[in-house]
Amino acid sequence: MTVIIDGKKVAEDIRRQVREEAARLKESQSIVPGLAVVLVGEDPASQAYVRMKGKGCEEVGIRSLQHRLGAQTTQGELLSLIGELNRNGEVHGILVQLPLPAHIDEKSVINAIDPAKDVDGFHPVNVGKMVIGEEDGMLPCTPLGCQELIARYASPLGGKHLVIVGRSNIVGKPLANMMVQKQPRANCVVTVCHTAAADIGYFTRQADILVVAAGRPGTVSASMVKEGAVIIDVGSNRVPHPDDPSRSRFVGDVDFEGVSRVATAITPVPGGVGPMTIAMLLKNTMKACGLQTAVSR
């Protein structure tokens, strides 16, 4: 029988661990972890994400400091704010909500964040630490959430063939670098395939663990999956509802109904990878706080 991976439950386990760790830190050292979230503009989806992150912080005992800037904010003004947050000892994590308005250079903003406070794991210093396997860097939240689900539902991992569909800087490439490391929660043989492949199915049918982050519904069908594989579907696509075209629903990149008949375990959409991203953001903030307070003592 196929296991439906409950990302909500795993995320709650992570949140509980963060909540307990934050309470211990406050009691023993009177330190409250602080996460600054910067939102530029009024994109509705970004506003919703920022609200969820603030609520998540509140639930686990992390101080949420939200900075909402107008869409006409200049790059210089944004960089000045980031500089202030870098110097603020009560801020342990900084997250600039993406995407940014077109007149602001995203790379310059990411590079301006103190790597020790880069809880998104996007700064080049943290990317470098990820590639060489240093454990004191920040790892990006969605790949970290994928790794957590893989470790729980596909262990032991050593030598298993992990195939990733998608090569983005947000999911595909970071996850490949994380899962190839010689570590207990990794140590996989990793293949990354993408749209340049003449036949993606040639690769996906070899996978013991298949992660699909293509950003396109129906990318992987049952005929493209090896029987018994573990499937992590990162996709989140809004499509018309089959019963009422005036409504919509969210689906992943995998044909859930077909693939679930051949997989050992599979993430649903919604309720799979999605809840893990904010949980891992909270965990990263706790990690950043621990590293910074250890250095300051």
Is 75 annotated in the active site?
no
**Token output for 110:** 């990411």
Query: Catalytic one among 114, 118, 120, 233?
Result: 120
Is 13 annotated in the active site?
no
For residue 59, which amino acid is it? Answer: E
Query: Catalytic one among 97, 147, 181, 292?
Result: 97
Digit-by-digit pLDDT tens for the chain (297 residues) are: 899 999 999 999 999 999 999 999 999 999 999 999 999 999 998 999 999 999 999 999 999 999 999 999 999 999 999 999 999 999 999 999 999 999 999 999 999 999 999 999 999 999 999 999 999 999 999 999 999 999 999 999 999 999 999 999 999 999 999 999 999 999 999 999 998 999 999 999 999 999 999 999 999 999 999 999 999 999 999 888 887 887 888 899 999 999 999 999 999 999 999 999 999 999 999 999 999 987 655
Alpha-carbon distance of 87 to 165, in angstroms, equals 39
For residue 175, which amino acid is it? Answer: L
Is 120 annotated in the active site?
yes
**Token output for 14:** 């992570």
Termini Cα distance of the chain: 52
Query: Catalytic one among 53, 117, 283, 287?
Result: 53
Domains of the chain: 29-114 (3.40.50.10860), 141-274 (3.40.50.720)
Please check whether residue 250 is in contact with residue 269, taking contact to mean a CB–CB distance below 8 angstroms: yes
Please check whether residue 204 is in contact with residue 165, taking contact to mean a CB–CB distance below 8 angstroms: yes
